[in-house]
Chain A
Amino acid sequence: MEASTISQVKGEEVTGCPVMHQDFSTTRDLGDYWALANDLRESCPHFYNKYAGGGYWVFTRHEAVKDIYKTPEIFSSESITPWEPNPIYRFVPTQVDAPDHIKYRRILNPWFSPKAMEAAAPMMRELCRSFIEPLVAKGRGDFIEDFALLYPTAAFLSVIGVPVSYTEQFAEWVDMFFGGFGGDPEGAENMGKALSEMRVFWSEQLADRRINPQPEGDLFTYLLNSTVDDEPLDEEVLLDMCTVLTLAGLDTTRAELGYMFHHLALNPEDRQKLIDDPELAPLAVEETLRYYTIIFGDGRKVTRDIEFHGVQLKKGDMVYALVSGANRDPRHWERADEFVIDRKKNNHFGFASGPHRCLGMHLARREMAIAVQEWLSVIPNFELDSDATLKERGGGAMMALETLPLRWEVGS
């Protein structure tokens, strides 16, 4: 890690704050990003990360990350990517602040509530089985490509009322988008293309539902009938909402499933605990979200000059709350660096916290718990099918294993 203590940053006096030059968008070996987060957190509570044309503050420890999430009036969500303070997309309601934010959440919360997801669970389980069944007799496969990219996508589409036959198309768009999200210039073109193609799809769906409203189980009809301040949502807002739901809902679950099954492939004793007690799956999911968090960090824009955890922040500065650092901070966690499958006091930030906590968390948890239960019921024993070091996509976007080759006994 390159870090040098300097006193001049952006022409302002900064006492003793180390400066680093880190690119969080690059693909690295599996585990390197969490190791980096541990190093950063233990060497300093905050850094200034400088890159060509800009820079932002990084807060590495649990206490500061918690305070950033707890004070959205100071840490605005106008931009959530500190390397891009003025992004080309606008996620609604992700990048909307108070007082409007809650109005949009009030619309969306019930659709993705625990009760709604409980009602959707049998359908999710059925979909999950349909993706696992053809794999059982194959004896090997890439868990990401054959399962983790597809099942959460299909489950999400069915929850919002889009035919699951669009699963592969959506998986492709989401992959293209996140290729550019972390700031990699080579990915920018594909990112733009995916965004515009998705918007065309959503606007066709919306146009269709204006003529053919579907009273049950169709998010588009529901959104078209929803109001903010007694006004219907305009087309731009509707498209922004649909886009963020897709981007936030598909890639993330694929990524967490990848890390969870990687862990289970390497830790047969944890696998056995889940086989013996499938009801343990929800706790195992939470621990996966803590220990293998895919949010390397979460960006916010500072709304006013303020001293925060020893740093003088200026209005307009970007900060990066290092969630991956916080989720393994030994100042907060007992056995911070251990995967404790039945951990109960697990107030991790894997779904963020504060008013912008992940809307789809109840969907994601269900999907993951169902995936573990269903997979283990037919493929109880599996292991890594590669000696090569696995790679993970950079933490600039959500971290994700690129591949996960697994093998298992046929007929086991």
Chain B
Amino acid sequence: MKLQVTTACQGHGRCYSLAPQYLESDDEGFVTIRGGDPIEIPDDQRELAVELVGTCPESAIVVIDD
């Protein structure tokens, strides 16, 4: 499963507070994925992935199933 951030991000910052291990803020507050975009995340992190999708007011986070 891969996690991807689209250009819809407006920098609300809810995702990187929920998953700082994968996501961080740039200097303006927009999200960047640590270690490249998209990033592979383990299957046992599915619940977290669903929370991330559901926490973004811009629908900017996408989970891609392998």
Contacts and interface: CB of A to CB of B under 8 A. Distances in A.
B46 interface: no
Contacts of A286: 14
B18 to A, nearest CB: 6
Nearest to A108: B28
Interface string B7-20: 00011111011100
Given A113-B25, A115-B25, A347-B57, A355 B14 contact: no
Interface in A81-132: 106, 109-110, 112-115
A17 B13 CA distance: 38
B61 to A, nearest CB: 10
Given A110-B28, A345-B51, A361 B12 contact: yes
Contact of A357 (B12, B18, B59): B12
B54 A106 contact: no
Nearest to B10: A357
A341 to B, nearest CB: 15
B43 interface: no
Contact of A354 (B10, B29, B50): B10
Interface in A325-357: 344-349, 351, 353-355, 357
B16 to A, nearest CB: 8
Interface residues of A, number: 24
B7 to A, nearest CB: 12
B14 A346 contact: yes
B27 A345 contact: no
A355 B10 contact: yes
A282 interface: yes
A109 B12 contact: no
B56 interface: yes
Nearest to B28: A109
A362 interface: yes
B29 A113 contact: yes
B4 interface: no
B32 interface: no
Nearest to A109: B28
Given A106-B28, A344-B18, A114 B55 contact: no
| Most chain A CB inside 10 Å of its own CB: which residue of B29, B51, B54, B58 | B29
B28 A347 contact: no
B17 A282 contact: yes
Contacts of B18: 344
Contacts of A355: 10
Contacts of B51: 344-345
Given A113-B25, A345-B54, A354-B58, 12 more contacts: A109-B11, A114-B25, A115-B25, A282-B17, A344-B18, A345-B55, A347-B55, A347-B59, A353-B57, A355-B10, A361-B13, A362-B13
A139 to B, nearest CB: 36
A348 B29 contact: no
A114 B25 CA distance: 7
Nearest to A365: B13
| Most chain A CB inside 10 Å of its own CB: which residue of B11, B55, B57 | B57
Interface in B16-66: 16-18, 25, 27-29, 50-51, 53-59
A347 B54 contact: yes
Contacts of A110: 27-28
Nearest to A286: B14
A307 to B, nearest CB: 23
Interface string A72-85: 00000000000000
A114 B57 contact: no
